[in-house]
Chain A
Amino acid sequence: MGQMDLSRETLIEVYRKMRTIRGFEENLQNLVAAGKIGGFMHLYAGEEAIAVGVCSQLSDADLVGSTHRGHGHCIAKGVDVKAMMAELFGRATGTNKGKGGSMHIADVDKGMLGANGIVGGGIPLVTGAALTAQVLGKDNVAVGFFGDGATNQGQFHESLTMAANWKLPVLYVCENNGFGEFTPTEFVVPVKDIVERARSYSMRAVIADGMDFFDVYEKAGEAIELARKGEGPTLLECKTYRFYGHYVGDPTPYRNKEEAEDWIQNRDPLDIFETKATEAGVMKSDDFRTVDGEVEILLREAVEEAEAAPMPEAADVLTDVYVRY
Chain B
Amino acid sequence: MARELNTGAAINEAIAIAMRSDPNVILMGEDVAGGGDRSKEGTEEMGGVLGTTRGLVGEFGMNRVRDTPIAEMGLIGTAVGAAATGLRPVAELMFMDFLGTSLDPLLNQAAKLRYMFGGKVKVPLTVRTVSGAGMQAAAQHSQSLYWMTTGIPGLKTVVPSSPADAKGLLLASIRDDDPVIFCEPKGILNQVGEVPEGDYEIPLGEANLVREGSDVSLVAFGATVAIAMKAAEALEGAGTSAEVLDLRTLSPLDEVAILTSLEKTGRMVIIDESTPRCSIARDIAAICVDKGFDFLNAPVKCVTAPHTPVPFSAVLEKAFLPSAQDVLDAVGEMG
A104, B73: Cα distance in complex, Å: 20
Contact B87 A320 (CB under 8 A): no
**In-complex Cβ contact of A127 among B23, B77, B178 (8 A):** B77
Contact A124 B114 (CB under 8 A): no
Which of B101-109, B134-142, B183-191 is the contact stretch? B101-109
Whether, in the assembled complex, B35 has its beta carbon less than 8 Å from a beta carbon of chain A, the answer is no
| In the complex, chain A residues whose CB is within 8 Å of the CB of B68 | 162
Which of A9-17, A130-138, A222-230, A303-311 is the contact stretch? A130-138
Contact A159 B74 (CB under 8 A): yes
A161, B77: Cα distance in complex, Å: 13
| In the complex, chain B residues whose CB is within 8 Å of the CB of A295 | none
Given known A107-B120, A325-B178, contact A158–B81 (CB-CB < 8 A): no
A121, B108: Cα distance in complex, Å: 8
Given known A117-B108, A162-B69, A162-B71, contact A131–B78 (CB-CB < 8 A): yes
| Additional pairs, 16, CB under 8 Å, beyond known A121-B109, A129-B84, A132-B82 | A113-B81, A114-B113, A123-B77, A124-B74, A124-B80, A125-B77, A125-B81, A127-B77, A128-B83, A131-B87, A135-B26, A136-B24, A158-B75, A320-B117, A322-B154, A323-B114
**In-complex Cβ contact of A165 among B69, B113, B177 (8 A):** B69
| In the complex, chain A residues whose CB is within 8 Å of the CB of B122 | 323
Closest to B107 in A: A118
Closest to A96 in B: B118
| In the complex, chain B residues whose CB is within 8 Å of the CB of A324 | 176-178
Whether, in the assembled complex, A108 has its beta carbon less than 8 Å from a beta carbon of chain B, the answer is yes
Contact A159 B116 (CB under 8 A): no
Mask of A155-194 contacts with B, CB within 8 angstroms, 1/0: 1011101100110000000000000000000000000000
Mask of B226-243 contacts with A, CB within 8 angstroms, 1/0: 000000000000000000
Mask of A83-115 contacts with B, CB within 8 angstroms, 1/0: 000000000001111111000101111000110
Whether, in the assembled complex, A249 has its beta carbon less than 8 Å from a beta carbon of chain B, the answer is no
Whether, in the assembled complex, B42 has its beta carbon less than 8 Å from a beta carbon of chain A, the answer is no
Whether, in the assembled complex, A321 has its beta carbon less than 8 Å from a beta carbon of chain B, the answer is yes
| In the complex, chain A residues whose CB is within 8 Å of the CB of B120 | 96, 106-109
| In the complex, chain A residues whose CB is within 8 Å of the CB of B119 | 97, 319-320
Whether, in the assembled complex, B86 has its beta carbon less than 8 Å from a beta carbon of chain A, the answer is yes
A96, B85: Cα distance in complex, Å: 18
Whether, in the assembled complex, A39 has its beta carbon less than 8 Å from a beta carbon of chain B, the answer is no
Instruction: List A residues at the B interface (Cβ < 8 Å).
Output: 63, 65, 94-100, 104, 106-109, 113-114, 116-118, 121, 123-129, 131-136, 142, 154-155, 157-159, 161-162, 165-166, 319-325
Given known A155-B73, A155-B104, contact A99–B118 (CB-CB < 8 A): yes
Q: How many A-B residue pairs have CB under 8 A?
A: 162
**In-complex Cβ contact of B205 among A142, A166, A325 (8 A):** A325
Minimum Cβ distance to chain B for residue A100 (Å) = 5
A132, B80: Cα distance in complex, Å: 11
A123, B121: Cα distance in complex, Å: 18
Minimum Cβ distance to chain B for residue A233 (Å) = 13
Contact B81 A124 (CB under 8 A): yes
Contact A162 B78 (CB under 8 A): yes
Give how many B residues have a beta carbon under 8 Å from the other chain's beta carbons.
47
Contact B154 A128 (CB under 8 A): no
A319, B116: Cα distance in complex, Å: 11
**In-complex Cβ contact of A135 among B64, B71, B121 (8 A):** B64
Within 8 A of A (CB), among B86-111: 86-87, 89, 104-105, 108-109
| Pairs A-B, 5 closest by C-beta atoms | A128-B81, A124-B77, A158-B74, A97-B118, A320-B119
Contact A321 B115 (CB under 8 A): yes
| In the complex, chain A residues whose CB is within 8 Å of the CB of B77 | 121, 123-125, 127-128, 155, 158-159
Contact A135 B81 (CB under 8 A): no
Contact B75 A162 (CB under 8 A): yes
Contact B118 A320 (CB under 8 A): yes
| In the complex, chain B residues whose CB is within 8 Å of the CB of A136 | 23-24, 86-87
Contact B81 A129 (CB under 8 A): yes
| In the complex, chain A residues whose CB is within 8 Å of the CB of B71 | 154, 157-158, 161-162
Minimum Cβ distance to chain A for residue B79 (Å) = 6
| In the complex, chain A residues whose CB is within 8 Å of the CB of B118 | 94-100, 320
Whether, in the assembled complex, B309 has its beta carbon less than 8 Å from a beta carbon of chain A, the answer is no
Closest to A154 in B: B73
Whether, in the assembled complex, B63 has its beta carbon less than 8 Å from a beta carbon of chain A, the answer is yes
**In-complex Cβ contact of B84 among A113, A135, A321 (8 A):** A113
Contact A162 B74 (CB under 8 A): yes
**In-complex Cβ contact of B121 among A94, A106, A325 (8 A):** A106
